[in-house]
Amino acid sequence: MRKNMQILTRYSALFIVVVTILLGILYILGSREICAVGLSLLFGLITLWVIGRVGLLAFHILFHKRPGALSDTGKVESVDIILPCYNPYQGWEQTMIEQHKELENLMHDYEFRLIVVNDGSKRGFTKEAVERLKVALPDTIIVDNKNNQGKGGAVRDGLKYSDSKLTLYTDYDFPYQTESICRVIECLKAGYDVVIARRNRTYYSQLSTRRKLASHASRFLNFMLLGLTYTDTQGGLKGFNRKGKGFLASTRIKQFLFDTEFIYKASLDDTTYIKEVFVDLRNEVMLPDMKKGVFLNELKNLFMICWRG
């Protein structure tokens, strides 16, 4: 049911965009009679989109259920954390060591293993830094890509080495507070298949104007084009169990929008439990500005998700 409503929303939104562009071209060329017919078609597509959106919201409200909590085995649970890494700053390994220690201090029933993916770094990812990390955390797995794959490709490369029941991925500098990561794990323990970080107003207040506009535009398009109920897909922190792992492994986008593709695929399955949790940035984290051209490239990827499903 949810999948059918989402597909209806997706394709009606896609054709609304196409028909609107064609109508604009025809109007400029002076084909007014064809435009009148096209407007009727456009109205019909908008009606289908509204039906799809209302159906999705109704499904979410009426049939949203809580999953059953995972059984407590009494054993220490293992959690893998995938950390894609490209041209890291000096001292990155010390940040990982400190954040790992904080996590284990707060969550005594869990063991955390880092899977660090060097995504073709040209600087910063030195042998000395890796050795310091391995000495402090011997279980750490290093995946060394010689060529840059993009964040999506790097996360999927790290996913191949994850064999724990619960897995997370985030940025190598651990931008979110340890308590936020703990909330994600607690939701997974409660039985949710995929847990999404939802950024609060504090996060957006620290963004540059360009990144802020891109983030809000992304959420709007996730709602309009993909019919997503969970629109904040770019939070940079996700958690999932083995069922959720399958959706992430099936993604194809190599750049940043793999997050959106992951959540979209998971949302199409009526039996998958998805949960949003509010997260907070660490005080010392500085968010970089978005490079020129990234938004247009990701917009192309969004339409690819919309078209391919």
> Domain-by-domain residue ranges, the chain?
1-63, 79-308
Instruction: Provide mean pLDDT across the span 174-200.
Output: 95
Fill in the amino acid letter for 12.
S
Q: What pLDDT is attached to residue 121?
A: 96
Q: Among 93, 84, 89, 92, which Cα is nearest to 119's?
A: 84
Q: What is the torsional sign of CA 302, 238, 188, 116?
A: positive
pLDDT at 23: 64
Tell me the pLDDT band of 57, cut-offs 50, 70 and 90: low
Q: Which of 2-16, 39-53, 226-240 has the highest mean pLDDT?
A: 226-240
Q: What kind and span of H or E run contains 143? A: strand 141-145
More confident residue, 195 or 25: 195
Query: What integer pLDDT is reported at residue 64 of this predicted model?
Result: 61
Residues 226 and 4 sit within 8 Å (Cβ to Cβ): no
Residue whose pair of structure tokens reads 């993009």 in the numeric block: 150
pLDDT digits (tens, 9 = 90+) for 282-302: 887 766 666 666 777 777 887
Say what the pLDDT of residue 26 is.
65
Confidence of residue 76 (pLDDT cuts 50, 70, 90): low
Q: What is the pLDDT of residue 122?
A: 95
Give dist(CA 156, CA 145) in Å, integer.
12
The residue with greater pLDDT, 294 or 228, is 228
Higher-pLDDT residue of 271, 248: 248
- The single residue listed with the structure tokens 């597509």 is 45
- What is the pLDDT, as a whole number, of residue 27? 63
Res 274 pLDDT > 70: yes
**Domain spanning 79-308 has what CATH number?**
3.90.550.10
pLDDT at res. 49: 63
Largest CA-CA distance found in the chain, in angstroms, rounded? 74
Stretch 147-164: mean pLDDT: 96
Cβ-contact 176, 198 below 8 angstroms: no
Which comes out higher in pLDDT, residue 148 or 69?
A: 148
Task: Name, of 17-26, 97-106, 255-264, 284-293, the range with top average pLDDT.
Answer: 97-106
Is residue 303 very low, low, confident or very high in pLDDT (cuts 50, 70, 90)? confident
- State pTM to two decimals: 0.82
| pLDDT, position 114 | 99
